[in-house]
């Protein structure tokens, strides 16, 4: 179920044995444009690709909220994943 999927996904970001040890990466096509977030690139920003050219949008004081809103993902889930990689 959903709880099992969530636990497995969160484990993937743990520093003690997960598959993705240091970053949260999200890609999504929105309105025919590719958007990407990679927590390994600081300061936190969203990347938008227009006709193959990358445009960076620096995130403010609530990067997890901005990422969640842009990609349509639960704020709690994004926050938890980002906390897990920073621990």
> Six-digit token pair at 33?
């444009």
pLDDT of residue 46: 99
pLDDT tens for each residue of 1-18 = 888 888 877 777 666 666
Please tell me the pTM assigned to this model.
0.76
CB distance 30 to 19 below 8 Å:
no
What average pLDDT does the chain have?
Answer: 88
CA distances from 38 to 2, 3, 8, 22 (A): 24, 25, 20, 10
pLDDT of residue 12: 73
Distance between CA atoms of residues 72 and 59, nearest Å: 16
pLDDT of residue 14: 64
Domain parsing of the chain, residue ranges: 2-86
pLDDT tens for each residue of 16-53 = 666 666 788 999 999 999 999 999 999 999 999 999 99
Q: Which residues of 21-44 are buried (b: 16+ CB within 10 A; e: fewer)?
A: eeebebeeeeeeeebbbebeeeeb
């Amino acid at each position: 179920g959903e709880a099992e999927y969530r636990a497995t996904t969160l484990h993937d970001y743990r520093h003690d044995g997960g598959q993705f040890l240091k970053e949260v990466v999200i890609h999504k096509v929105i309105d025919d444009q590719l958007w990407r977030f990679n927590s390994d690139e600081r300061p936190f920003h969203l990347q938008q690709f227009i006709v193959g050219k990358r445009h960076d949008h620096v995130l403010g004081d609530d990067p997890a909220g901005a990422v969640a809103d842009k990609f349509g993902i639960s704020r709690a889930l994004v926050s938890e994943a980002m906390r897990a990689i920073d621990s």
